[in-house]
Amino acid sequence: MTTTKFKGLTFCTLAALFAAGQAFAHTGVRDEVDEGKKSYNAFTITHGCGSHTGAQTYPVLGQSALFPYGANAVWKNAAGVVIQKGGNGNGTISSATLALAVTGYAGFSSPFATSQEIVDNLGSVQALFWKDGAMEPKLNAVTPFKITAPTIANNCVKSLGIRVGVINYCDLNKNAANDINGPYLQPKDAFGRKIPNLAIGAGIQTNVPGAPFFVTLPNGNGDNNRADWWFDAPVGGSFLYKDPQLLSEWSATLIVNNSAADLAKCKGTKIDVTVEPHGAAFDAYLTGPNTRPFTLGNSNL
């Protein structure tokens, strides 16, 4: 890993949408990008961790993001059928394989003090990782990154959706086996300050009576509240990421748009293509040691 330390908070407006049985802090990608262009972009964290509407919500403590790359890229058509593993999506892009030149950011740009790049043995960035901070759950945050979008070679491909396997972390030292157990430790922001515990009352946010800050909970913060996984079961399966209670949907998708000039040359039906990381990439790069202090052990995370 290469590591950059920074301190700063970037917060936006309230968004609250929770679903039963999971932590659910919805995460997306801020901007679309034109083919072949550099994109100074970010993941958007739109609310905190909570089990369902009306339940207690908790701060997001960190994040990881795994990008499709090279042989670990899985290409799918609009129906979700795999069209190629590795390669260039049967001619979807001009290069032989997908390489996004992913780069992390240093600076005053997120709620998390530490930003890391997770690299392969050739030094290519495969994933990004943020820790040492917290996002107050009724605010928003962005975690920035830079990529270079591929050039779309197939004139009939309207857009390429690059799916990123994102995890928002909600607790420390947890895995599927001990998720329900305590303690839940008092969260602190990137400056070491306590996180305000807010509730919605009469249409405004107000301090919860008797609990102005999030506190340590000896019995934990509930089951399946260790993290939000913003991806479905990866192709090829995963030894580390297979808990059906946390698998959800590919919500963090970077859209690369083809040019109008190229689309005008299409003689057939215009289509959309997606690409996502293979299960082997999750197990190779989002390992237990690479995702401390949020995970415990290195199986069934």
194-223 pLDDT, tens digit each: 998 876 555 555 555 566 789 999 999 888
pTM: 0.88
Q: What's the pLDDT score for residue 202?
A: 57
Q: What's the pLDDT score for residue 126?
A: 98
Question: Residue ranges of the domains in the chain?
Answer: 2-291
209 cis-preceded (ω within 30 degrees of 0)? no
Report in angstroms the alpha-carbon separations of 259 from 262, 273, 275.
5, 15, 19
Q: With cut-offs at 50, 70 and 90, classify the pLDDT of residue 47.
A: confident
Q: What's the pLDDT score for residue 262?
A: 97
Share of the chain above pLDDT 90, in %: 77
The string of pLDDT tens digits covering residues 6-40 is 323 232 322 333 232 344 457 999 999 999 999 99
Matching residue, tokens 């950011």: 105
Q: What's the pLDDT score for residue 206?
A: 59
List, in order, residues 6 or more apart from 78 with CB less than 8 Å away. Answer: 271, 272, 273, 274
